[in-house]
């Protein structure tokens, strides 16, 4: 069955198909709909569920979420950070450095920083997308470029034609193969654990509205409250050994996680003991893509720039991608030209954060010694919140508008 929905060639509105209904895909649907563009989001899962755990949502995303008109839904479940990037020494919890966020972040950048469960952010974005524009249980199996459209095929036999196709289908993107041939992923040697601990079972220090990072030899662990403070999110990193499963559905055990942090501050043990069945996945390393677009096909989010989570910007950059893409497609009648501008705006910024996140894996895991002491001294120098201005003050919509005026 083939359904033709291409618009530009017939004089009707631009028609966009978004493949993937995660944060980036739904954000694309929300911003494109807000811009008056005919868009439908296709997600392979039968429902938008609770997959994932905690996220940091910094001002560069909060200002964009505010414009979608449903920020109240997000704020109902999010936790405003009082302190972020509170680095603590692995052995005894000594504070190496910390950024005061509450009040000061809003003063500098116009918005606060928050932590939340992924599902709560997803729900806030979904509220900006009319339900009839989201199709669930639709797995993309292939892309075919036509003369003036793109055909997307799904596993139920449906074929949809549209003017533009956006691949927001994650790190294992099907759409990406129609844009470029990326270098093979390489094994990082690290794995990650994630878990949620009910606040009533968590030690008091972990319930503070603080993003805390414990750093030490070959490991680090991050925790902060989510879901209005009802749960504590844990994400921890360590050597993977021969474990190479990248799936978010893969699981570890509390015993394994405790063993990774044996000898660390005993307060961490108290927190980890209540971690239930932690998720566990390997971190694979991927080089930045040289291009995100090919004709009428483009990428965003993890499909375009999968990055290690060490700068807490993965989901935020997907939201930025979506906002910039909508501006570009709304301003230019030629889809290929619009996507070329979008790519030119987004690749340098996302690529820089991708590289910084990559570099951070070694810095966080230094063994005790001269390099570790130098790192700790550097962390304590200057004003880290001001240094982060290039991240937090950025406005993806404004950047896209300015770039479009120069074309």
Do the beta carbons of residue 13 and residue 308 sit within 8 Å?
no
Do the beta carbons of residue 405 and residue 341 sit within 8 Å?
no
Instruction: Exactly one of 224, 342, 392, 394 is catalytic; name it.
Output: 224
Tokens 């690749």 belong to residue: 347
Cα 97 to Cα 61: distance, rounded to the nearest angstrom: 24
Residues 6+ apart with CB under 8 A from 35: 326, 327, 329, 330
Q: What is the DSSP letter of 367?
A: P
3-state secondary structure of 7: coil
Residues 6+ apart with CB under 8 A from 82: 100, 101, 102, 208, 209, 210
Token pair for 162: 């549209």
Q: Is 224 a catalytic residue?
A: yes
Count the Cβ atoms, other than its own, within 10 Å of residue 202: 21
Tokens 């005894």 belong to residue: 92
Closest CA to 324 of 397, 394, 393: 397
Do the beta carbons of residue 246 and residue 171 sit within 8 Å?
yes
18 to each of 50, 167, 184, 277, 350, how far by Cα in Å?
A: 21, 6, 25, 33, 20
Query: In 202-278, which ranges are continuous DSSP H helix?
Result: 254-260, 266-272
Which residues are identified as catalytic?
A: 224
């Amino acid at each position: 069955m083939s359904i033709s929905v291409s618009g530009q060639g017939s004089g009707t509105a631009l028609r966009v198909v978004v493949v993937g209904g995660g944060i980036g895909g739904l954000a694309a649907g929300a911003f494109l709909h807000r811009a008056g563009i005919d868009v439908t989001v296709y997600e392979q899962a039968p429902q938008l569920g609770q997959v994932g755990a905690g996220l940091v949502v910094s001002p560069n995303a909060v200002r964009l979420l505010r414009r979608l008109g449903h920020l109240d839904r997000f704020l109902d479940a999010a936790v405003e950070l009082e302190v972020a990037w509170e680095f603590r020494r692995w052995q005894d919890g000594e504070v190496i450095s910390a950024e005061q966020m509450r009040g000061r972040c809003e003063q500098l950048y116009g918005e606060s920083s928050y932590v939340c469960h992924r599902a709560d952010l997803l729900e806030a974005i979904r509220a900006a997308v009319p339900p009839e524009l989201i199709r669930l249980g639709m797995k993309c199996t292939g892309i075919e470029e036509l003369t003036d459209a793109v055909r997307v095929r799904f596993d139920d036999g449906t074929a949809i034609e549209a003017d533009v196709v956006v691949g927001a289908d994650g790190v294992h993107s099907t759409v990406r193969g129609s844009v470029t041939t990326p270098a093979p992923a390489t094994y990082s040697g690290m794995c990650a654990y994630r878990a949620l601990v009910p606040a009533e079972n968590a030690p008091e220090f972990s319930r503070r509205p603080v993003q805390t990072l414990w750093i030490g030899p070959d490991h680090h662990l991050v925790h902060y409250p989510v879901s209005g403070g009802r749960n504590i999110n844990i994400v921890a990193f360590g050597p993977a050994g021969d474990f190479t499963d990248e799936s978010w559905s893969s699981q570890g055990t509390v015993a394994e996680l405790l063993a990774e942090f044996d000898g660390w501050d005993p307060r961490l043990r108290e927190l980890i003991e209540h971690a239930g069945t932690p998720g566990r996945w390997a971190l694979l390393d991927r080089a930045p893509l040289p291009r995100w677009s090919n004709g009428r096909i483009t990428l965003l989010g993890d499909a375009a720039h999968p990055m290690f989570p060490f700068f807490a910007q993965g989901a935020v950059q997907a939201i930025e991608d979506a906002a910039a893409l909508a501006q570009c497609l709304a301003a230019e009648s030629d889809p290929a030209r619009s996507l070329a501008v979008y790519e030119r705006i987004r690749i340098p910024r996302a690529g820089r954060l991708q590289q910084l996140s990559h570099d951070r894996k070694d810095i966080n895991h230094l063994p005790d010694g001269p390099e570790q002491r130098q790192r700790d001294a550097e962390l304590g120098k200057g004003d880290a919140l001001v240094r982060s201005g290039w991240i937090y003050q950025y406005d993806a919509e404004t950047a896209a508008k300015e770039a479009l005026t120069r074309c």
